[in-house]
Structure 1
Amino acid sequence: MMRTESNIATEPNPMPLQDLGARFLEFLGGVTYPCVGAKSALARGSIETQEFGRLGDRANDRLLIEGLSHFVSMIESSSADEDIVHSYVAIFREPTDLNELQFESLMWSQLWRIHRLDVLAGNLPAEDVSDDTESPHFSLSISGHPFFLIGLHAKASRLARRFRHPALVFNSHRQFEKLREDGRYGKMQSATRSRDIDLQGSVNPNLADFGDASEARQYSGREVEVGWQCPYDFREKS
């Protein structure tokens, strides 16, 4: 997804923290930003942003799970509209100086805690994906809906994932499956990868199609090791 500080348009001039959502949408709209799916969603006004405090803080947990639950209700009530892909973006004010390992650690701790709240609320994992992070069919489930995540932060090695503040983009797995079924996903994926090569000179080495490798390896954006394992077990139910 995103941009850098030299060979692509730089992030907009600093705005007040309360304008982080607007700053993020402007970031997606940059000429060199590669993800055509995000640009389509931006043009249709189907990206919802919400601001939080410090990534990894427990104070975010309840607000984040409530925001996602509301988002799931919205997209499932409009599931008949196959032409629009909706995304929910959680943007965190701090920290802004994380390296890739630090971001990955805080990201997973944040995801684990909202997963626990989701389980405590009585929600079962989505039936169309696996809740085993080692499975090539894994997707993070919230309110019974599967999500593919895109993590962004200021020091991401992939230029397309560099944003001044930590952010987590929750994309509906089911909406992308609809695009895959009618052939649009392949075209979007090809165009995005071509633009990413133009941006950075290579395709993200972590990329894999759903069913080939666990998508958990892709969430943080870091090129993880061959034997990498998610630090949390999302299969636990109690």
Structure 2
Amino acid sequence: MPAPDTPMFRWTHHAQAELESLLHAHIADRAFPCVGAKAALARGTMNVLACTSIDSAWDDLRIHDGLVRFAEAYRADPALFRSFAVVFDGPDDLDEPAFEAALWQRIQSLSDKDVWRGQSYDTRVSHDPADSHFSLSFGGEAFFVVGLHPYASRPARRFARPTMVFNLHDQFETLRADGRYETMREAIMVRDEAIAGSRNPMLARHGEASEARQYSGRVVDEAWRCPFHYAGKTEGDQHA
């Protein structure tokens, strides 16, 4: 957090209220298709962090701090429908490839900080983005990312500010175990089709294909390769 009574401190407090309100209104809109996000908003479990720019590392330590605290709070009370949303003030003119590049730059930087701070990778998922069981890991907890931005081709991913929504992998597993995953997935697909005119071709079932292809929201082909590389060590790594 910036030092009190400085321009950056005042901007942060103003932006937090403005951007949090903007995201809440967007999710509350009837057309927004993600029922999980709506549930988190209704329950007051949608955490929002306002940051400056998605193409800058300026706020990465604040973001990582927030993710670690969020993971700890979830482990202490593993209730469903929690999300950690990072809303950036800009840039608001990124096309889909530029947004995708910025999103993965932030992910790589946050993962590197997780390694630097001695956090272990969640052993329930793979750190290899080509693996169908891939998920990110922060603070020892696995996360799935949903990117939103003004120039997304899919209406469901279109939002006034660049945004990264971190969702807990464990929640998908809980929904699957409870028999609710398919019902919720279908509800989201139907709502998405209603506003876009077609179903999102990138939405594979959880665990069937690498989720990395879905993060930015851009439609990618089979030649696409994820730019992420985990820099730490995991239990399965062999060392000389």
SS in 1 for 2:65: helix
- Structure 2 residue aligned with 1:136: 132
Give the Å deviation of 1:122: 1.1
Coordinate RMSD, CA, aligned = 1.4
Alignment of 1:1-238 (within 5 A): 17=15, 18-79=17-78, 81=79, 84-234=80-230, 236-237=232-233
Cα contact 2:115–2:231 (8 A) shared by 1: no
Distance in 1 separating the partners of 2:64 and 2:94: 24
Distance in 2 separating the partners of 1:186 and 1:179: 9
Q: Please say which of residues 173-182 and 225-234 is displaced more in the overlay.
A: 225-234
SS in 1 for 2:103: helix
Q: Please say which of residues 153-162 and 200-209 is displaced more in the overlay.
A: 200-209
String of CA shifts for 1:85-137, please: whole Å, max 9, x gaps. 10000000010010000000000011101100100111121111000000000
Give the Å deviation of 1:229: 0.8
String of CA shifts for 1:133-167, please: whole Å, max 9, x gaps. 00000001001100011000000011001111100
Q: Percent identity?
A: 40
Q: TM-score, normalised by structure 2?
A: 0.88
Cα contact 1:133–1:234 (8 A) shared by 2: no
Aligned length: 220
Q: Mind listing any 5+ residue stretches in structure 1 that lack a counterpart?
A: 1-15
Q: Given residue 24 of structure 1, which amino acid in structure 2 is its aligned partner?
A: L
Q: Given residue 111 of structure 1, which amino acid in structure 2 is its aligned partner?
A: I
Cα contact 2:60–2:110 (8 A) shared by 1: yes
Q: Given residue 152 of structure 2, which amino acid in structure 1 is its aligned partner?
A: A
Which runs of 4 or more aligned residues in structure 1 lie more than 6 Å from their structure 2 counterparts after TM superposition? none
Cα contact 1:193–1:203 (8 A) shared by 2: yes
Q: Mind listing any 5+ residue stretches in structure 2 that lack a counterpart?
A: 1-13, 235-240
Q: Given residue 181 of structure 2, which amino acid in structure 1 is its aligned partner?
A: Y
Distance in 2 separating the partners of 1:90 and 1:73: 18
Q: TM-score, normalised by structure 1?
A: 0.89
Distance in 2 separating the partners of 1:72 and 1:170: 11
